[in-house]
Homo-oligomer: A and B are copies of this chain.
Amino acid sequence: MTAGSVRQMRLEDVAKEAGVSRATASRVMSGSGPVSAAVRDRVREAARRLDYRPDPVARALVSGSGFRLVVAVVGTTAQVLEDPYVDRAVAAAAQAGAPYGVGASLQWLPRQAPRLDRLAEDRSVRGVVLLNTTEAALEAVPMSLRGRVASIGIGSRWVPSFDVDNGGGAAAVLRHLYATGRRRIAMVTGPQWMPCAWRSVESYQGLMRSAGLPARLVAGDFSAGTGHRAMRRVLRRWPDTDAVFAINDATALGALAALREEGRKVPDDVAVAGFDDIPFAALSAPALTTASHPVSRIVGAAATAVLNQAPGPPNVVFPSTLIRRQSA
């Protein structure tokens, strides 16, 4: 249909077309440096006419800026990369980067030795988005990476953080459980080492304490499998449990399955609530009560901040609201 254009236009062509030097054309196109209004219009018009689009590779070379955004996921094993949450994050980064001509890479960061210096030295790397961030990972951020890292989770003096309001969301869910008469509320947490899961646990502990109720904590690891096992453990240790708050929906769905197997009615015998509002939370039986978690927006914001080198506020918190369904 369209004739394949013979050759991509270069800045030189635009400059010639507009009757100016390459430097001036560059100033116009990159929007930096002084140019007279008349010349600017002339160059822009020429660029439009020739359908000129600057070569991002050449730009990257001269500016030394790199061209890919690495999503680095802290985890005990490379298995973390199989979490649907990671998929969502990467897709969001890939989408946010597209207009900038920047792609997303996915990489595992061993929890025991989260080395970021290789990434910092890699000239193809434009910036890094940290997932499941730990203190150790934050400390491993080398100087040369400062200003082009963002963390989904905890941040530091040098690393801006973007996260959902874990504490607020958890509190909303727990208040709902309490308001509907639940008093023997257990919680299935995430892995101990993951700071982003602490707030929820603190919320739980805070509310239980202020209500004068004993805490019933069991550790999980964000997976449905451990949600299932953790639920069985809860029932064994505290058979009279009448509600469970799971650190995320996957865990909650696992718990739901365990309760079903045990013949406990949800929500009549035991109420179940999760966190995240993943697509299938609405489809479980009963449909899962949970708290919203705008992962795409969060990661998109983090990616955009890195790409723009925007200083911005050091901690951006996205609200989480209660999603009432049938399970609680």
Seen from chain A, the residues whose Cβ lies within 8 Å of a Cβ on chain B are 2, 4-5, 8, 53, 55-58, 60-61, 64, 66-71, 81, 84, 86-88, 90-91, 94-95, 97-98, 101-107, 117, 121-124, 142-144, 224, 250, 253-254, 256-257, 260, 279-280, 282-285, 287
Contact = CB atoms under 8 A, between A and B. Distances in A.
A307 to B, nearest CB: 12
Contacts of A107: 95, 98
A87 B257 CA distance: 26
Contacts of A279: 84, 224, 250
A117 to B, nearest CB: 6
Contact of A91 (B67, B87, B103, B287): B87
A101 B122 contact: yes
Contact of A103 (B86, B88, B103, B117): B103
Contact of A124 (B56, B122, B260): B56
Pick from A67, A84, A257, A284 the residue with the most CB of B within 10 Å: A67
Nearest to A121: B8
Contact of A67 (B8, B103, B144, B287): B103
Contacts of A69: 103
A4 B144 contact: yes
Contact of A56 (B84, B104, B121, B123): B123
A102 B57 contact: no
Given A53-B122, A84-B84, A2 B91 contact: no
A283 B4 CA distance: 51
10 nearest A-B pairs in the assembled complex, by CB-CB distance: A103-B103, A68-B103, A87-B87, A94-B106, A87-B91, A56-B124, A101-B124, A285-B285, A90-B91, A98-B105
Contacts of A67: 57, 67-68, 103, 124
A240 B58 CA distance: 66
A127 to B, nearest CB: 11
A105 B104 contact: yes
A94 B71 contact: yes
A102 B101 contact: no
Contacts of A250: 279-280
20 contacts: A2-B142, A5-B121, A57-B60, A57-B66, A68-B68, A70-B103, A81-B91, A87-B87, A90-B91, A90-B94, A94-B94, A94-B106, A95-B107, A103-B104, A224-B279, A253-B280, A256-B283, A257-B285, A280-B280, A285-B285
Given A57-B60, A283-B253, A106 B123 contact: no
Given A97-B103, A257-B287, 14 more contacts: A4-B144, A57-B60, A61-B61, A67-B67, A67-B124, A81-B91, A84-B87, A84-B279, A90-B104, A95-B106, A95-B107, A98-B106, A101-B124, A253-B283
